[in-house]
Structure 1
Amino acid sequence: MDARLQTIARVVDISGVRTDVSRQEIDRIVAACREYHFVCAFAMPCFTPYLKQRLADLPDVKVGGVIGFPSGADSTAIKVLTAKEHLRTGCDEMDMVINVGALKSGMDQTVEDDIRAVVEAADGKPVKTILEVAYLTDDEIRRGAEIAVRAGASYVKTGTGWASKPATVHTIRLIKSAIGDSALIKAAGGVRSLDTMLEMMDAGCARFGIGLRSILSIMNEVDARLNIHRSFSLETAQTDCY
């Protein structure tokens, strides 16, 4: 039995960052956090204070905030302002989208300055830089990862989950080859099976951003392999929320 199955929830950022996520969906995410104790939970900025409030009695579940999401095209000033707002709200971690257009334009210093400004504004909170790899070549992925490390990012993250192409094991290996152990790696977008998670972990991935339905399906896979029986499901999460 793979020993990682016992603690798989502790590498998961459960995420409610789609356009149509409602407060009721946030309540279901909270219910899932109470059941599985994921390491962190993310919502869009309008619901981040509510998420923080609902998780206040779960000290082992962090709350994260998104910055420049999903395009990365906000000005640096707006990204810094968002980071400061997340600090005020009580966020424990921040996931920011890099300036993808600047990276593709070869404006590496602009990308680095943008990330560094957010890292400084985050005041010591971990910042995960989202490359949005679906729009990048392998060379751009390598450059983006190296820039993120130079700028002080704690993690290099594959994507927002909004792009049509999923994160892949190839991408994780590519990022790992570029940054080594200089920063951690987070995968997000299209991670929908336990075997995919385990393969990505083998390739060097340390954290996963996964939506409610997909992570409940994965946790069911975990329970089946560990011979654990529980009554929690998406349906019970709906009835338990308020």
Structure 2
Amino acid sequence: MPRILVIQPDASDPVGPLGDWLTAAGAELDIRQPPGDELPAGLDDYQALVCLGGGMNAEDDSAHPWLKPVRDLLATATHNGLPTLAICLGAQLLAVATGGRVVQGDKGPEVGAYLVSKKDAAWTDPLFAELPLMPDVLHFHEDEISRLPANAVLLASAPKYVNQAFRLGRCAYGLQFHIETTPEVVQSWAEDEPDMAATAKPGTFETSTLSRLHEDLADTWQPFAARFVQLAGGALKTAAPTPRNTLPLA
């Protein structure tokens, strides 16, 4: 039974269905919500790391000084080859921790149901290979990963913001989008961030629309979560080593 450390940076973004999918696949979760919950000093007791989303900026250390220890853990996991899944803010933290750059998106917020497109490298990736060409995702962010870390492998893209999913090393993954939400969580975000919500398409936050979206998300991403547990447990091989390069690989 792989033991997974789950870091929840924000009370508004719990692990949700993703947690159910991970445990159904055989994982044990240790959920920590800083700053109330102390973060472990290291990762020796875990077989994988998950970092969720949040409303803060990835480098807002003055308001959230515990962000640096989170970035340090993400950097350590990547360096040590620990299977890692970082979502939205988590992906931004992973990028910054390993040499990438995050800025406020110059095309405005990306909010609502979208499709992202798999890149060529995704078809041979252990987690992404079985996803459809254009999987459903949920966006709710205004910052973007403007530059991926060196030697990152770009796995999925979209017209508005290019860097939607990437892999570092053999098994550290960043997703700029959400797969862990429920309709109620998304509606609460819309209430808390009305200016961002106003940029979405009409009807985006209706319960029926969100319910259909989340059924599609479960169809696509529950098997993905199960593969992540297999990766953590050693039943699934990690990706081949990334050739050394100075630019993200597509």
TM-score over 0.5 (shorter chain): no
Q: Which has the higher strand share?
A: 2
Shorter-normalised TM range: 0.3 to 0.5
Structure possessing the higher relative contact order (Cα contacts under 8 Å, 6 or more residues apart) = 2
Q: Which has the higher helix share?
A: 1
